[in-house]
């Protein structure tokens, strides 16, 4: 039976790792010529080595080898290095190749064994996919399965010196709060009982490739799990960094938040929750325009990327069992003083935008309007208020919507404290009867009838 051909132009990509030495190389192996006969594939080609620590350092060598599809064995040797400094060719690779000819796992041994051995794992790639492109120039949307395999293999290098089964460490990871962080010039690792008390995880975040002042190369994020005494790739999470983990007592109980900058003033936020059934991180898609935090049964969104921030915004949604509910209220504060509170009127049930605009004369007087669908200008319900004490937007959020001012604190909280009656501050109010009734405190004393 004739083997499946390895056609001219076939390319494999992977990572070569010296045993016990921190000196890894990205490798591209290309087939330039092949001949098949009685289950054997004799091939020649070339490979390219790129030093992970110094991407500018490359070495190209000629390759001669053989694949035996009868027992899925592969062997090959290298010669004629383009960069003779540090190149060693008096050895060979031997190992296995999968039956579909897609994955190569080999070990390199030197003839005189003075340098020990090294391991190389290669995955079938497209002929025009060089290693540098995968880590520096390819956009997330363009990533192929081969690209992701490259990223996973490169990320695994970060985990080489992290062994959770090392004596004395197992006892540490009996509690979720046991997390560790390791930062190197190649990337960042966050590891420990990150999402489940029964498994040890690692989040690897590759360092960005060198770029210009206004270029923002990706920083790829992967999830690994410690299984059978080794790190196993579980999930590719895309371009994301600035990681934050948050925990709750309900379900989902673990959330991962991240960000990514895509331009000088552009970027977005991402988040995942841990699915205990599948063991995967699942996107929440909570970020309409900025990051979020959870307070009891409320989901609160804040500002996103902005070129010049002149506003502080909060949107408050109902939240239950990992689901975002209806929009309950929003607060928009401008650094010049004006602010707005949108919410459902506790008395009428209609949606109202309360607009507050302080005067410029430092009198402390604030113009107030109630904008509704029937009266978008607020001309029929307006007035002025003057506060005798200190106040913030949270006070008016509670006064007008009944929602707690603690929802604006931008802190993760499992449960809101029991709501206490609002401590009213002295306010003089003039204008429409509704404005006076809502804001005036103390209330005007009625004159007893004779």
Q: Token pair of 115, please?
A: 């340098």
Please give the pLDDT value at position 56: 63
Instruction: Give 181-195 pLDDT, tens digit per residue.
Output: 999 889 999 999 898
One-letter-per-residue 3-state SS of 287-299:
CCCCCEEEECCEE
6 pLDDT higher than 90: no
How far is Cα 404 from Cα 411, in angstroms, rounded to an integer? 13
Closest residue by Cα to residue 195 from 236, 240, 255: 255
Q: Token pair of 415, please?
A: 């449960």
Residue-wise DSSP of 67-114: EETTTTEEEEEEE--S--TT---SEEEEEEE-TTS-EEEEEEEESS-S
Closest residue by Cα to residue 108 from 40, 32, 49: 49
Please give the CATH number for the structural domain made up of 11-128: 2.40.128.620
Cβ pair 243, 259 in contact under 8 A: no
Lowest-pLDDT range, 40-44, 80-84, 170-174, 311-315? 170-174
Give mean pLDDT, residues 224-231: 91
Instruction: Give 389-404 pLDDT, tens digit per residue.
Output: 788 999 999 999 999 9
pLDDT band at 363 (very low <50, low <70, confident <90, very high): confident
Please give the pLDDT value at position 75: 94
Q: What percent of the chain has pLDDT over 70?
A: 84
Please give the pLDDT value at position 2: 45
Q: Which residues pair with 270 in a beta bridge?
A: 258
270 pLDDT higher than 70: yes
Lowest-pLDDT range, 111-125, 230-244, 433-447? 111-125
Domain ranges of the chain: 11-128, 130-285, 296-450
| Helices and strands of the chain, counted as H and E runs | 4, 26
Instruction: Give 407-439 pLDDT, tens digit per residue.
Output: 999 999 999 888 889 999 999 999 999 999 999
Residue 146 DSSP label = H
214 pLDDT higher than 50: yes
Cβ pair 57, 72 in contact under 8 A: no
Please give the pLDDT value at position 1: 42
How far is Cα 155 from Cα 205, in angstroms, rounded to an integer? 7
């Amino acid at each position: 039976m004739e083997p499946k051909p390895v056609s001219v132009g076939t390319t494999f990509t992977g990572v070569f790792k010296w045993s016990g030495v921190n000196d890894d190389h990205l490798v591209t192996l290309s087939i330039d010529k092949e001949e098949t006969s009685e289950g054997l594939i004799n091939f020649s080609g070339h490979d390219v080595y790129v030093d992970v620590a110094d991407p500018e350092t490359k070495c190209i060598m000629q390759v001669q080898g053989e694949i035996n599809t009868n027992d899925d064995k592969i062997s090959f040797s290298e010669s004629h290095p383009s960069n003779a400094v540090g190149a060693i060719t008096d050895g060979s690779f031997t190992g296995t190749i999968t039956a579909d000819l897609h994955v190569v796992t080999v070990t390199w041994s030197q003839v005189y064994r003075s340098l020990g051995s090294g391991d190389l794992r290669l995955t079938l790639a497209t002929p025009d996919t060089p290693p540098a492109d995968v880590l520096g120039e390819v956009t997330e949307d363009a990533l192929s399965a081969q690209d992701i395999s490259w990223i996973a293999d490169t990320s695994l290098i970060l985990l080489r010196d992290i062994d959770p089964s090392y004596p004395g460490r197992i006892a540490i990871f009996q509690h979720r709060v046991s997390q560790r962080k390791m930062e190197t010039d190649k990337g960042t690792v966050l590891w420990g009982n990150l999402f489940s008390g029964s498994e040890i995880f690692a989040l690897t975040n590759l360092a960005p490739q060198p770029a210009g002042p206004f270029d923002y190369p990706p920083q790829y994020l992967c999830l690994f799990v410690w299984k059978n005494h080794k790190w196993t790739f579980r999930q590719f999470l895309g371009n994301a960094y600035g990681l934050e983990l948050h925990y709750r007592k309900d379900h989902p109980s673990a959330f991962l938040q991240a960000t990514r900058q895509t331009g000088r003033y552009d970027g977005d936020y991402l988040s995942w929750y841990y699915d205990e059934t599948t063991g995967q991180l699942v996107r929440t898609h909570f970020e309409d325009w900025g990051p979020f935090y959870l307070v009891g049964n409320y989901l609160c969104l804040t500002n996103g990327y902005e070129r010049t921030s002149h506003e502080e915004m909060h949107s408050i949604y109902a939240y239950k069992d990992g689901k975002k509910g209806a929009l309950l209220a929003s607060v928009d504060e401008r650094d010049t003083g004006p602010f707005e509170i949108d919410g459902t009127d506790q008395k009428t049930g209609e949606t109202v935008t309360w607009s507050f605009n302080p005067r410029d004369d430092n009198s402390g007087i604030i113009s107030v309007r109630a904008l509704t669908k029937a009266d978008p200008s607020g001309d029929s319900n307006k007035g002025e208020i003057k506060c005798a004490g200190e106040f913030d937007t949270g006070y008016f959020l509670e006064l007008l919507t009944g929602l707690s001012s603690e929802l604006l604190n931008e802190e993760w909280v499992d449960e809101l404290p029991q709501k206490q009656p609002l401590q009213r501050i002295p306010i003089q109010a003039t204008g429409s009867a509704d404005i006076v009734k809502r804001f005036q405190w103390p209330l005007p004393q009625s004159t007893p009838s004779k």
